[in-house]
Amino acid sequence: MEETYLLNVEGVKKKILHGGQGELPKLQDGSKITFHFQTLKDDFERTVIDDSREAGMPMEIIVGKMFKLEIWETLLSSMRIGEVAEFWCDTIHTGMYALVSRGMRRIAEGRDPLEGQKHRCGMGNMFDYHSTGYDDLDELQRTPQPLIFIMELFRVEDPSAYKRDTWAMNKEEKLAAVPVLHSEGNRLVLRREFAQAAAKYQEAVICLRNLQAKEKPWEDGWLKLESLVTPLVLNYCQCQLELGEYYEVLEHTTELLQKHNDNAKAYFKRAKAHAAVWNEREAREDFQRVAHLDPSMAAAVKKELKQLGERMRKKHVEDRKRYQGLFQSPQGL
């Protein structure tokens, strides 16, 4: 269409290139919008800056999750499914584009989009960067200018219609997700699918750690979340024991015991990991702590110590034979 449509937003012009279908989608916090976009300079050549099709994947944003280029939510909210539209946006809306583009490009390259970024507001981060790492984006940072966005809207999904990544959840949603993930992990353990179970436990821990980061350490809110974290970490470590990832178990149990040095189950799992990597002294010390902290586990400790002793004796015999073979002179010499 040749006619230019003005949105009720200062500094924005819209031109519909291909009409969409149905009514305007109803966007709400948590809705996921999937679309392709092309970003062009407002110059004679209409120089292309970014093209999601060339990157090989459509763009997705979650409504209400503080996407750095807020104008995009406004633009997309004016579109119907299947519509292709061109938007001219004045400089007041495009000042953050260089940072947004930098992150998208790094993701497409398989790199961390936040690497080197300080935990500050968007404009603060802008001044922190001496360079984005891309010459054309550095130019946009130095001289903000109007940009043209050509967008094709594919779909809008309500929050309940798709599995949301944990980063996109609010506090209440994260808390609600934790018991579900815990239960799914337990179900997978019963099926001996330990890697998949570990992933569920880990995702639940990440939810809780994100929430903990907003609480003051060792105060009531932090402690309540920590009480949920601990059993999940222990379950995760049990899965790693089953998978033979002993050094990871040592790392996580040691970190846990630095906060909770009376947790018998953490000592027990760490002892088993020590035993598996032939750290006999450390394993025995941890098993003894378990028996002291929780007498009900004494029988299990006794069994583990017996197995450890048998394994170590067998290892010593094998080592002795190996060393004897190294120092024996070949016959005939």
276-311 pLDDT, tens digit per residue, is 998 999 999 999 999 999 999 999 999 999 998 898
Bigger pLDDT: 9 vs 83: 83
Handedness of CA 86, 92, 95, 96 (dihedral sign): negative
| Band of residue 312 on the pLDDT scale cut at 50, 70, 90 | confident
> Residue ranges of the domains in the chain?
4-157, 171-327
The answer, yes or no, to whether residue 104 has pLDDT greater than 90, is: no
Bigger pLDDT: 207 vs 230: 230
Class of domain 171-327: mainly alpha
Among 53, 92, 49, 93, which Cα is nearest to 75's?
93
Segments in the chain forming alpha helices (H)? 52-55, 71-77, 91-94, 97-108, 122-128, 135-142, 171-190, 194-212, 220-243, 246-259, 264-276, 280-293, 298-327
The answer, yes or no, to whether residue 258 has pLDDT greater than 70, is: yes
| Band of residue 129 on the pLDDT scale cut at 50, 70, 90 | very low
The answer, yes or no, to whether residue 118 has pLDDT greater than 50, is: no
DSSP bridge partners of 35: 59, 153
125: amino acid identity, one letter: N
* CA diameter of the chain: 101
pLDDT at 167: 62
Bigger pLDDT: 312 vs 321: 312
Among 44, 78, 213, which Cα is nearest to 151's?
78
The answer, yes or no, to whether residue 120 has pLDDT greater than 60, is: no
* Lookup result for tokens 């006794």: 302
The answer, yes or no, to whether residue 148 has pLDDT greater than 50, is: yes
The structure's pTM equals 0.53
The answer, yes or no, to whether residue 331 has pLDDT greater than 70, is: no
* Lookup result for tokens 């807020």: 70
Q: 4-157 and 171-327: same fold?
A: no
Long-range CB contacts (within 8 A, 24+) of 265-270: 265/234, 266/234, 266/237, 267/293, 268/297, 268/300, 268/301, 269/234, 269/237, 269/238, 269/241
Domain 4-157 is found in CATH 3.40.50.300: no
The answer, yes or no, to whether residue 111 has pLDDT greater than 70, is: no
What CA–CA distance (Å, rounded) separates 235 from 233?
Answer: 5
